[in-house]
């Protein structure tokens, strides 16, 4: 990815992830770059009718993986 796009996007993701770590809503080892990779998978799924169920499953998996109890 182009650094001009990636760096601001990473910064935008870092702030809420760090805030959630501080409040213990997500685990301390959660990594903003890993999160972007996982969310990037969602962008590659086909449009709604064929991909909607998959998007929901992967999004739930992504959020569970960030959970504080892990």
- For the chain, domain boundaries: 3-66
* Global confidence as pTM: 0.64
Distance (Å, rounded) from C-alpha 70 to C-alpha 11? 24
Using one digit for the tens of pLDDT, what is the confidence trace for 28-59?
988 999 888 888 877 787 777 777 888 788 77
User: Is the pLDDT confidence value at 70 over 50?
Assistant: no
Q: What digits encode the pLDDT tens for the residues 12-32? A: 999 999 998 999 988 898 899
**Higher pLDDT residue, 67 or 49?**
67
Cβ-Cβ contacts under 8 Å for 66 (sequence gap 6 or more): 20, 26, 27, 30, 35
């Amino acid at each position: 990815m182009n650094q001009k796009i990636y760096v601001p996007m990473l910064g935008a993701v870092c702030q809420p992830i760090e805030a959630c770590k501080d409040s213990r809503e997500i685990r301390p080892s959660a990594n903003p770059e890993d999160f972007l990779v996982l969310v990037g998978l969602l962008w590659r799924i086909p449009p709604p009718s064929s991909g909607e169920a998959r998007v929901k499953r992967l999004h739930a998996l992504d959020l569970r993986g960030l959970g504080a109890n892990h």
